[in-house]
Amino acid sequence: MIEQVTVIANASYPLEGILTLPDSQAIKVPAVVFVHGSGPLDKDETIGANKPFRDLAEGLAKKGIASLRFDKRTYTYGKQMIQELGGSLTVEEETIQDAIFASRMLKTDPRVDANRVFMIGHSLGGMLAPRIDAEGGDFAGLVILAGTLRTLEEVIIEQNEVSLKQLEESQREMASQQIQALKDKFDSIAGMSEETAQQSLLFGAVYAWYLKEMHQHPVKEYLSNINKPVFVLQGDKDVQVSVERDFNQYQAILKDHPNASCKLYPGLNHLFMKAIYGTLKDIWEEYNVPQTVDETIIEDIAKWIQSV
């Protein structure tokens, strides 16, 4: 069963959402809030020809779990937010405020068990999950899909360096210079004042303050201090985050956590679908092949939620 809803954490930015409820609905079902990866994404987290949040929502509903997904603020109001906030935009306005509000929405729905509202964060959403929880999400547990504990700069530079190796030799010199220029920009962020960072455009519509503000809220610290259930999932063919530098780091930090699980899935990419090419240079070609989230992912998340 699907209901159209509106997420209004900020009156200037009402967001279209979908509440998905199990058809054979028990009283007080568990529920999840979906939190997107980076970039302006819709409620289904449409990437190329694929809609991972829709797949997860529909799959979880069949297993008795409700969910709330909604358009990202920058998807609906990107130009308006750039005009109004400019370089002061952070993940607070882009992501965190709406995720916290969505959690509260679910907890006040009489059909949902307010003590069993979870968060499923993908990519940047997974990275931010412990911070969102600490700042007021107050979830029963966190599901982190293809997250990272590194800074966004580290991930971006690594992706660029991997892509560089996959280029033709004739293209490498210019690309290498561009990567070095980006590194230099990133290195300068630490010494910037807040005001300077809000005036320093890095690339696209991303200002230095967007990254510097995240440095002030290290996700490793939030994760290290968390005492609630955590489930970390990653595909071993994910070319956007690393098994060695991301998944293994989650395992290391959570190794003594009494209620944390980490699971690596063979053959799956960043969208938890079958990897086709397995290279960064072909990633958009891969994402433009229509697929669905692997059924094992849905089964494992559902089992984990039902066990908490």
From 238, 242, 246, 294, the catalytic residue: 238
From 38, 67, 103, 123, the catalytic residue: 123
Task: Confirm whether 238 is a catalytic residue.
Answer: yes
Q: Which residues have CB under 8 Å from 131's CB, separation 6+?
A: 96, 217, 219, 222
Largest Cα–Cα separation, the chain: 63
Rounded-to-10 torsion of CA 276, 277, 278, 280: -130
107 phi, psi to nearest 5 deg: -65, -25
Task: Confirm whether 188 is a catalytic residue.
Answer: no
Q: Which residues have CB under 8 Å from 209's CB, separation 6+?
A: 87, 88, 89, 90, 194, 197, 198, 200
C-alpha distances (whole Å) from 157 to each of 66, 104, 164, 175 are: 37, 36, 10, 12
20 phi, psi to nearest 5 deg: -105, 125
What would the two tokens of residue 111 be? 């059909």
Q: Which residues are known to be catalytic?
A: 123, 238, 270
